Amino acid sequence: MKTSSVFRGLGQSIVAAFALTVFASFSSQAQSADRIQPKPFAIAQPAPAGLETAVYQVPQTTKFKVHFVNSTGKTVTVKLRDANRNVLYTESVSAKNYIRKFDLEPLGDGKYQFEITGGGQTVVRQVDLQTVTARTVQIQ
């Protein structure tokens, strides 16, 4: 009899702990849903042939990071192109892990592309660079 009451108490404790965990999870998701804001540009794409790429914006800047993991060991080419497909920057590397920050501040408004080629495939990510002005009013 003692064994069954111990297991019953243990079972109730496990159920209570599970219910508390589920409630806390839903509660934190509901609270954080109010604070979730979409990221302006973040793309990570696992790609076949051993090349995983990510291109993302440094928040509230005109800087972008290009990152790839190259498990093939073959040469990977990174290019930055303008809307007319002119190459503004190119680099070929055979590193397994690559991270480079690109500052697009000197470039004019328009569409640009990061093109990452390696392992027989090409990943292209488009960036739309726009100057946004804001109007403010002050009472004096």
Rounded Cα–Cα distance for residues 120 and 46 (Å): 14
At the topology level, CATH places domain 42-129 in Immunoglobulin-like (2.60.40)
Residues 6+ apart with CB under 8 A from 107: 62, 82, 88, 129
Mean pLDDT calculated for residue range 63-74:
89
* Cα gap 34→37, rounded to integer Å: 8
pLDDT band for position 102 (50/70/90)? Answer: very high
What is the average per-residue pLDDT within 67-92? 92
Which whole number is the average pLDDT over 89-93? Answer: 95
